[in-house]
Amino acid sequence: MNYPNSINSKLPNVGTTIFTVMSKLATDNNAINLSQGFPDFSCNEELIGLVNKHMLKGNNQYAPMAGLMSLREIIAEKTEDLYSAKYDPETEITITAGGTQAIFTAISAMIREGDEVIIFEPAYDCYKPAVELNGGKTIYLQLKAPHYAIDWEEVKKVINYRTKMIIINTPHNPTGSIMTAADMAKLEKLTKGTDIVIVSDEVYEHIIFDGYEHQSVARFPKLAERSFIISSFGKTYHATGWKIGYCVAPKKLMAEFRKVHQFIVFCVNTPIQYALAEFLKNKKNYLGLGNFYQKKRDYFNKMIKNSNFKLEPASGTYFQLLNYSEISKEKDSNFAIRLTKEFGIASIPVSMFYHHSIDNKMLRFCFAKKEETLEKAAEILNKI
């Protein structure tokens, strides 16, 4: 096979994601994998049974491009029940191949050469490449530790006529922080009278703790009218490998979203859509998720409270940041590798979520695990 003499990469600084790297390192070293964000327990047996039922019924061919109407209708009901926001299932809801595809599609639909996109670091790693592939420029603002809050005065200073999009993420990966109603009010004020579009990554919407309510963009009509809201069934139903989620947005925005969506995946796994349309009818299948994961967070944090790691309990997601500054002065990437190889426990160095690898001596651990896994992990962490 003949290859071009040179390839001018569109993403010259992008390699294999840190999640893949650390998971492979965990496998190679037979380490407990608290790095990549997936549960080590099975999803609901009823849901698996529903998928199997629809496979056996022959529902295995292409679904409609935007998704099964029955699933879109139940999503519309769910969104109205939770956030008092009405979305038309015909024109304003699209089923996607996971949250990452939905985010990429929304960015691709809106961003042109020279457009500026504001993201908040530490940031999930799929935002920046999607912006750059579409010719946009990423503007980085740092969340303020220890609670990783947005400094809205800083946001105000960087907004200009080139600002096309702001990407927010709540509950936030990797920090576990959440945005408040006051945050949404400030975002609404800053974007009023502009053409700025919001991409709101809300894939952990049901995993929120300590009595807080998820402040979806959908709750705020003036924000919702300029926003793509992204959700994930994989996160909600412990089935990350199914890669299925959805996007809701006003009709004009969704029309542009679908123009791109149809040429990326066209449509999404059909039998799983049928199964989810049935499973979502029982609200208990998602409303208890916060309590479920809060117990795991509390269990994990309680077991390591006497360790040399320091922590602020996560307010959402199934990730917990641990500060190791009293243990080592190593770079977080080096320390994470050493923990995996020498101690048998894998995490994600938080510097990887910054474009300039800012090192605050933080590691991200996933607690979406069985109790026995968390116990083994805590035993190791307490010895470090």
Kindly report, residue by residue over 243-292, the tens digit of the pLDDT. 999 999 999 999 999 999 999 999 999 999 999 999 999 999 999 999 99
250-270 as b/e, with b when 16 or more CB fall inside 10 Å? Answer: beebbebbbebbeeebebbbb
Of 285, 311, 334, the domain-final residue: 285
- Quote the pLDDT of residue 77: 98
Over the stretch 122-172, which tens digit does the pLDDT of each residue have? 999 999 999 999 999 999 999 987 889 999 999 999 999 999 999 999 999
pTM above 0.85, yes or no: yes
Q: Does 314 lie in the same domain as 280?
A: no
- Report the candidate in 310, 278, 292 with the shortest Cα–Cα distance to residue 367: 292
pLDDT recorded at residue 351: 94
The domain that holds 206 is classified in CATH as 3.40.640.10
On whether both 266 and 317 belong to a single domain, the answer is no
Tokens of 316: 């959402």
Q: Which pLDDT score, from 0 to 100, does residue 5 have?
A: 67
pLDDT score of 1: 57
Residues 229 and 89 in one domain: yes
Residue 3 in any domain: the answer is no
Check whether residue 60 and residue 199 sit in a common domain.
yes
Question: How many domains does the chain contain in total?
Answer: 2
Single residue among 233, 259, 285 that ends a domain in this structure: 285
| Same-domain status, 276 and 296 | no
Tokens of residue 359, six digits:
């090192």
Q: Is residue 7 part of a domain?
A: no
Question: Which of these three, 285, 320, 346, is where a domain ends?
Answer: 285
Asked whether residue 294 is domain-assigned, the answer is yes
Q: What is the pLDDT of residue 364?
A: 97
User: How many angstroms separate the Cα of 360 from the Cα of each of 146, 329, 341, 350, 357?
Assistant: 11, 10, 22, 8, 9
Q: Based on the domain organization, do 74 and 180 belong to the same domain?
A: yes
Q: Assess whether 202 and 64 both reside in one domain.
A: yes
State whether 186 and 248 are in the same domain: yes
- CATH at 339: 3.90.1150.10
Residue 9 lies in a domain: no
Is 6 part of a structural domain of the chain?
no
Buried (b) or exposed (e) across 93-125, using 16+ Cβ within 10 A?
bbbbbbbbbbbbbbbbbbbeeebbbbbbbbbbb
Q: Which two tokens stand for residue 141?
A: 């603002």
Containing structural domain, residue 149:
45-285
Segments in the chain below pLDDT 50: none
